[in-house]
Amino acid sequence: MAGRISLDAADLRILGALQKDGTLSIAALSERVNLSHNSCWRRLKRLDAAGVIKGRVALLDPAKLGLQLTAYVSIRTREHSEAWLREFAAAVESLPEIVELYRMTGDVDYLMKIRVPSIEAYDAVYKRLIAKVRLTDVSSAFAMEEMKNTTELPLFAAPSGEDE
């Protein structure tokens, strides 16, 4: 879906409840957001169809899975061709330890987030990445403490007139 859709207070309550617990049944969701079962179901289907809800997932605890180290990697490159970008995207896609990647403005071309068990595991990912694609400069910073991490987006009502 290309544009923003208008959301009313009931839509925002539904989305807020689902961001906290995506496993809620329609009955539990409708009770939590104070809507009838049918109204809640219709709204949920509309939000799904509009692409507002991208999916429902289980959020895992990285530390309990042995993924204690979070690395933020700043990448600069001299290459900006389509062919290089396809090669870079394929390299990143082949490395499951890379959990986020952004193309940036400013001094850094790309910023990635890597989750691994240790510095040694990070080094192995780094070596696999540079073996797959040419990079000009790679700089890493390691998180000392996670102070906030949420998947919940801030929810605001869309101004009227900005509908599908």
Report residue 4's pLDDT band, with 50, 70 and 90 as the boundaries: confident
Best CATH choice for the domain 63-142 from the list 2.40.110.20, 3.40.120.10, 3.30.70.920, 3.30.360.10 = 3.30.70.920
pLDDT in tens, 22-62: 999 999 999 999 999 999 999 999 999 999 999 999 999 99
pTM of the model as a whole: 0.85
Q: Which tokens is 89 given?
A: 């995207």
What CATH number has the domain spanning 9-49?
A: 1.10.10.10
pLDDT in tens, 110-126: 999 999 999 999 999 99
pLDDT in tens, 59-110: 999 999 999 999 999 999 999 999 999 999 999 999 999 999 999 999 999 9
| Ranges for all domains in the chain classified under CATH 3.30.70.920 | 63-142
Q: What is the Cα–Cα distance from 109 to 116, expressed in whole angstroms? A: 23
| Ranges for all domains in the chain classified under CATH 1.10.10.10 | 9-49
Q: Cα-Cα-Cα-Cα dihedral of 7, 8, 11, 16, to 10°?
A: 90
Sign of CA dihedral 139, 141, 142, 143: negative
